[in-house]
Structure 1
Amino acid sequence: MKVKFFFRKKEPQFNSIEELFDAVSRKLSVIISVESITMPYGKISFKNIFKNIKYTRANSGKLNHITGHINYVTLGLKGKTILTIHDVGSTLNGNKIKFFLMKVFWYWIPALSVKKITVISEFSKKELVSIIPFAKDKIKVVYNPVKEELKYQPKEFNASCPKILLIGTKSNKNLENTIESLKEISCELHIIGKLAKEQLLLLEKLEINYFNQFFISYEEIIDAYQNCDLLCFASTYEGFGMPIIEAQAIGRPVITSNMGAMKEVAGESACLVDPNSISSIKEGVEKLIDDAEYRTNIIHLGLKNVERFKIDKITNDYLNIYKEVIEAK
């Protein structure tokens, strides 16, 4: 068996899909032949879309797996294809014309041409079924794996001035509410992601002590998990919420949202808060700081939760899908 992975063009600010399938690829390569194909063009334009489709046609195999965010390249693939869709909400923002075009060319046409579609959470599956109900039998949930590089590393919690890690600065990451919730709490923020002017002004206005990094390597992200005291990830929308299980694998307590994929991924292993309520986020942070017994239990539950996302299990899920697609007439 041989599978060809098709990746979007790599950009310095986006690496989650590449990191995810690099881990899966390394595990699969012990069992089957795996080849990775990266698109030559990144910026979305009619010219680049056409060139990427032409490129995939020249490089397609008998079994293809589009790893995410280039759904349209299904039009260039000749063999049997699996498509992974990471989230729906972020691609359907905008006016009615854009909404219609995205539904047709990003979801409907690809859904008709592929054999299987994988999504990364039950939440994402529900969203996707509402858009392509005709293809619901093709959709299967395969969770994101936690990478083996993320090893448990205990750390003495700094209750007097904890280092709080915030990952992501896009609007769904809810940074403004999170910053507001921390204005009366003695802490140091480590923010990963390029800050907008408004976010910088808010940090300055509230006199928040912070450290910012962006366009960093995965090794630096691991360092950030290891050096923090807790992760605050109170997003308003996620297709999965990878930082939740990454921080838990290191052994850090997690605060995340009580909705959508984040609640699904974390379950009872994190402090769940209302992301739309500044007071709820604040109360969650204070509870983790002040209640050592609660914090220890959250860490313990987090380590147990990570077992659901071990790379061997996720790799086996993909392998079973590949076998099913190959054997199907």
Structure 2
Amino acid sequence: MKNRISYIFRKPDPKYKSIEALFGVIARHLKEDVQTDAIMMSYAGGGLSTLWKNLANFQKKAYHIYHITGDVHYMALRTGRKTVLTIHDVQSILKTSVVKRLYLKLFWFWLPAICVSRITVISEFTKNELSEVIPFAKKKIRVVYNPVNPSFQHVAYTFNKIKPTLLLIGTKSNKNLERTLRALEDISCTVVIIGKLLEEQLTLLKQLNINYVNEYDISFEALQHHYRCCDMVCFASTYEGFGMPIIEAQAVGRPVLTSNLGAMKEVARESACLVDPYKVDSIREGILRLINNDHYREDLISKGSLNIQRFQASTIAQDYLKVYNEISNT
């Protein structure tokens, strides 16, 4: 008899679809091995009221393995021992006031870690961070990388050295947009920025006289289009739990510039141009090297094609299956 996996998701929101898309891919690749269904939360937010309402509305099913896919970690208080909890990162949750940090540690980390049988994280970097928050549950942690969506396929292109198009994903503070823009000053290029720009960022773009296109709340198909149409992807983030744009760009066959630290370095290895995200000069040197050095750029594209083999959906799905089997056998 096949195990039945019930995936627990946050309340649907058209602005936030990455977790749902990720586990949709996983579920499709496990259809021969397990039965799956999805449970969506009815309430959004992280306040006590939302927490209690989601917990109260939950109807536990017998014989199911539950997989809390992220964001609503506290649901482990209802799902019980036969549960996998995926934690995508640590810092973004805990960057807040002392009182709220204690509240989040209690309901998003400490209590869930006690309740569940297994915790999966999406990088060794996140595992190390999480181990400091829940040292008592270190033995429960397993690293299972994010898969690259099979919809991202290699598309041949000719690099535009005269005026390349640079794709930048994300506008939040950790995405390091301001330093990347300063690094582009006086470089002939078109910048495509995905994510809603702040007034300060718009002002900076104007000051630097950068030719740019900005889109946000776009469809998955539109995102794919931008990867296919760009010449390179710049992702000099200061913090990530994983770094999906790295492998998405490499799947399409585009060179990547990313940070030489944390999960980005772990995911990219030697297949991207690694720069110091805190130094504008380092970012600028990396961008210019990718534009001007044909051999270096083509070498990174080739290495990127090899690198993404580690993140094939079929491989990652089997890694999750091993975790589910660990639980069913206990």
Q: Tell whether the structures are fold-level matches, with TM greater than 0.5.
A: yes
2:292 equivalent in structure 1:
290
1:151 equivalent in structure 2:
153
Structure 2, unmatched stretches of 5+, are none
Q: Deviations over 1:102-121 (max 9, x none)?
A: 11221000000000000000
1:160 equivalent in structure 2:
162
Contact 2:156 2:253 (C-alpha < 8 Å) held by counterparts: yes
Where in structure 1 do 4 or more consecutive aligned residues deviate above 6 Å?
A: none
- CA separation in 2, counterparts of 1:106 and 1:179? 35
- CA separation in 2, counterparts of 1:212 and 1:61? 48
Give the 3 Å change call, closer, same or farther, for CA 61–208 of structure 1 in structure 2: farther
What amino acid is the match of 2:109? Y
Secondary structure class of the residue paired with 1:57: coil
Deviates more, 1:77-86 or 1:231-240: 77-86
Deviates more, 1:54-63 or 1:40-49: 54-63
1:267 aligned to 266, 269, 273, which one?
A: 269
Provide TM-score, normalisation by structure 2: 0.97
Contact 2:43 2:53 (C-alpha < 8 Å) held by counterparts: yes
Secondary structure class of the residue paired with 2:223: helix
Quick check: 1:48 aligned with 2:47?
no
Count of residues in Structure 1 that have an aligned counterpart in Structure 2: 328
Contact 2:7 2:37 (C-alpha < 8 Å) held by counterparts: yes
Contact 2:242 2:264 (C-alpha < 8 Å) held by counterparts: yes
Contact 1:3 1:61 (C-alpha < 8 Å) held by counterparts: no
1:299 aligned to 297, 301, 305, which one?
A: 301
Report the aligned-residue RMSD.
Answer: 1.1
- CA separation in 2, counterparts of 1:93 and 1:59? 35
Contact 1:230 1:253 (C-alpha < 8 Å) held by counterparts: yes
Secondary structure class of the residue paired with 1:314: helix
How far the C-alpha of 1:78 sits from its partner, in A, is: 4.2
What amino acid is the match of 1:241? G
Q: Deviations over 1:170-224 (max 9, x none)?
A: 1000000001100111000100011111111111111111101111111111111
- CA separation in 1, counterparts of 2:12 and 2:229? 27
1:137 equivalent in structure 2:
139
2:175 equivalent in structure 1:
173
Quick check: 1:81 aligned with 2:75?
no
How far the C-alpha of 1:10 sits from its partner, in A, is: 2.0
- CA separation in 2, counterparts of 1:245 and 1:11? 24
1:20 aligned to 19, 22, 25, which one?
A: 22
- CA separation in 2, counterparts of 1:188 and 1:310? 31
How far the C-alpha of 1:271 sits from its partner, in A, is: 0.1
- CA separation in 1, counterparts of 2:278 and 2:110? 32
- CA separation in 2, counterparts of 1:264 and 1:315? 20
How far the C-alpha of 1:61 sits from its partner, in A, is: 5.7
1:246 equivalent in structure 2:
248
Structure 1, unmatched stretches of 5+, are none
- CA separation in 2, counterparts of 1:92 and 1:59? 32
Q: Deviations over 1:51-87 (max 9, x none)?
A: 1112333567621000001101111214610000000
Contact 2:29 2:314 (C-alpha < 8 Å) held by counterparts: yes
- CA separation in 2, counterparts of 1:55 and 1:117? 24
Secondary structure class of the residue paired with 2:58: helix
What amino acid is the match of 2:262? G
Quick check: 1:276 aligned with 2:293?
no
What amino acid is the match of 2:33? I
- CA separation in 1, counterparts of 2:209 and 2:126? 38
What amino acid is the match of 2:13? E
Contact 1:65 1:81 (C-alpha < 8 Å) held by counterparts: yes
Contact 2:144 2:319 (C-alpha < 8 Å) held by counterparts: yes
Q: Deviations over 1:294-326 (max 9, x none)?
A: 000000000000000011110000011101101
Secondary structure class of the residue paired with 1:164: strand
What amino acid is the match of 1:290? N
2:187 equivalent in structure 1:
185
Contact 1:61 1:78 (C-alpha < 8 Å) held by counterparts: no
2:213 equivalent in structure 1:
211
- CA separation in 2, counterparts of 1:201 and 1:60? 56
- CA separation in 1, counterparts of 2:12 and 2:189? 34
2:98 equivalent in structure 1:
96
Secondary structure class of the residue paired with 2:84: strand
1:257 equivalent in structure 2:
259
What amino acid is the match of 2:186? E
1:319 equivalent in structure 2:
321
- CA separation in 1, counterparts of 2:57 and 2:157? 48
How far the C-alpha of 1:50 sits from its partner, in A, is: 1.1
- CA separation in 1, counterparts of 2:142 and 2:57? 27
2:64 equivalent in structure 1:
62
What amino acid is the match of 1:49? L
2:200 equivalent in structure 1:
198
